[in-house]
Amino acid sequence: MERLIVTGGTPLRGSIAVSGAKNAILPIMAASLLSESRVVLEGVPFLKDVQTMKETLESLGAKIKLTGDTIEVNPSGLHSQEVPSSLARRMRASNLVMGPLLGRFGTFKASYPGGCTIGSRPMDLHIKGFEALGAKIDEDHGYIKAEAAKLKGTEIHLDFPSVGATENIMMAATLAEGTTIIRNAAREPEIVDLQNYLNKMGARIRGAGMDSIRIDGVKKLNREISYRVIPDRIETGTFMVAAAITRGELVIENAIPEHVEAVTAKLREAGVQVREEDDRIIVKGSPVWKGLDIRTMPFPGFPTDMQPQMMVFLCLAQGTSIITENIFENRYRHVGELRRMGGQIQLEGRSAIIKGVPRLTGTVVEATDLRAGAALVLGGLAAENTTVIEGVHHLDRGYGNLEERLRMLGAQIYRETNLS
Ligand code: EPZ
């Protein structure tokens, strides 16, 4: 198993460019199945999850070429609408091919995506949307099967602004007959990016980023296009906290300030200097910072994907903080690991009460999911002596070449690949 070895205490300094957004490229790669023509995607991050989505599309018959940060998808040879369960279980986001397959071919079969460590991750809102569009859904032995002679536009009200359900319904409705309105839709920037990509391919969608999205069905998508995905706002936020927690100063390039406003507001409230420019953010850490109250909410509220990173930052604050995780029911797996480093954290239901301590101490810790792994790296960068982080494969799903990029900023971090 691979491990990261981090020696703390060095303030990070310099500039770092944010990669393309994982949670934009994954639905956009899936949406390529709706087209009958070749598409080229640019600004693609170097991530395990991109590799998994590539394999998922190839298993359906698409031809994919990945060179550097560019992906070429040729969906003309699609011959299957059944997602191999090994892939569906490896990454929940492989469920994003359901909407495009249903929209283009009127059918799909896929195993329930693996719930992951942060919660059960049901699919009821996706299924409700597909049924509203006219699909017949069967669920048995962990598989979901869908059949639809023709999808018909309709009005769908989401009980919860689910990101994946909004994306899947948008994609299924793109080629449906008539108009679909999604109410209480997720408003994340990645939804806007998906709308812009689909419209460039010839779809007719309006309203993404608001809580109602209108999709006017079209006959087909066959424009050969290229598209650059937006920067990753969670990677941006992670680097912002890295500057703050190491009391360093970072220039974060290729960032969109409006996409991380909630994180900026909270860091400023804690006493960190954050300067926003057109396409970059400069963060200057402060010697001490205050405790905060944070509640995770759907966008534009504070993002759940930044909750672990803020928790480790608040472990070193002056005073007590409260974090309430409102999106996932089990996103506190990193608490035990942070306690091992000296964090004083009490869990009460959905809330974590964090009592600031003067220092964290390096030890052996285990990443349990992608963002928990990021939090442990941040903890290691700030802790005294050395932290060994196991479970690095979780990190590689969402952060490309993280240790190399942090080393460029002065971090003492390297990857140990022991062959045992
Ligand atoms: C997306 O997951 C992101 N993943 C997640 O990022 C992110 O944490 C999440 O949105 C929330 O912002 C991708 O975009 C690939 P949801 P998704 O559907 O679509 C419940 C990361 O670290 N729900 O908005 O799965 C669900 O259980 C990952 O990059 C239902 O109840 O999130 C959860 O409690 C982690 N029924 C809540 O809604 C459904 O049918 C939010 O889920 C669907 C979801």
Give 77-87 pLDDT, tens digit per residue. 899 999 998 88
Looking at 228, 246, 267, the residue that finishes a domain is 228
Other CB atoms within 10 A of residue 186 CB: 23
Do 30 and 46 reside in the same domain of the chain? yes
Looking at 193, 211, 228, the residue that finishes a domain is 228
Beta-sheet pairing, 344-348 with 351-355: antiparallel
Do 49 and 147 reside in the same domain of the chain? yes
Q: Per the structure, how many domains does the chain have? A: 2
Do 103 and 126 reside in the same domain of the chain? yes
Residues within 6 Å of ligand 1 by CB: 22-23, 26, 92-93, 119, 121-126, 160, 162-165, 186, 304-305, 327-328, 370-371, 398
Do 362 and 399 reside in the same domain of the chain? yes
Q: Are 396 and 377 within 8 A, CB to CB? A: no
Q: Which residues form the domain of 345?
A: 3-19+231-416
Other CB atoms within 10 A of residue 355 CB: 15
Looking at 199, 228, 257, the residue that finishes a domain is 228
pLDDT for 366 equals 97
Do 184 and 301 reside in the same domain of the chain? no
Q: Read off the CATH number of the domain in which 191 is found.
A: 3.65.10.10
Instruction: Give the distance (Å) from ligand 1 centre to CA of residue 186.
Output: 10
Do 206 and 272 reside in the same domain of the chain? no
Residue 93 is encoded by which pair of tokens? 């986001």
Instruction: Give the distance (Å) from ligand 1 centre to CA of residue 100.
Output: 18
Do 213 and 235 reside in the same domain of the chain? no
- Which residue's CA lies nearest to atom 43 of ligand 1? 123
What are the residue ranges in the chain where pLDDT is below 70? 114-117, 419-420
125 CA: nearest ligand 1 atom: 40
pLDDT for 90 equals 87
Look at residue 158 and give its three-state secondary structure: coil
Angle among Cα 273, 325, 349 to the nearest 5 degrees reads: 130
Pocket test for ligand 1, best of 95, 163, 166, 371 (most atoms within 8 A of CB): 163
- Which residue's CA lies nearest to atom 17 of ligand 1? 164
Do 140 and 284 reside in the same domain of the chain? no
Residue 166 is encoded by which pair of tokens? 């909004």
Q: Are 138 and 351 within 8 A, CB to CB? A: no
Which residues partner with 290 through β-bridges?
318
Cis upstream peptide for 45 (omega within 30°)? no
pLDDT for 292 equals 97
Angle among Cα 102, 92, 389 to the nearest 5 degrees reads: 160
Do 214 and 250 reside in the same domain of the chain? no
Residues carrying an active site annotation: 116
Do 249 and 129 reside in the same domain of the chain? no
pLDDT for 420 equals 61
Do 298 and 222 reside in the same domain of the chain? no
pLDDT for 115 equals 53
Pocket test for ligand 1, best of 23, 170, 299 (most atoms within 8 A of CB): 23
Do 163 and 273 reside in the same domain of the chain? no
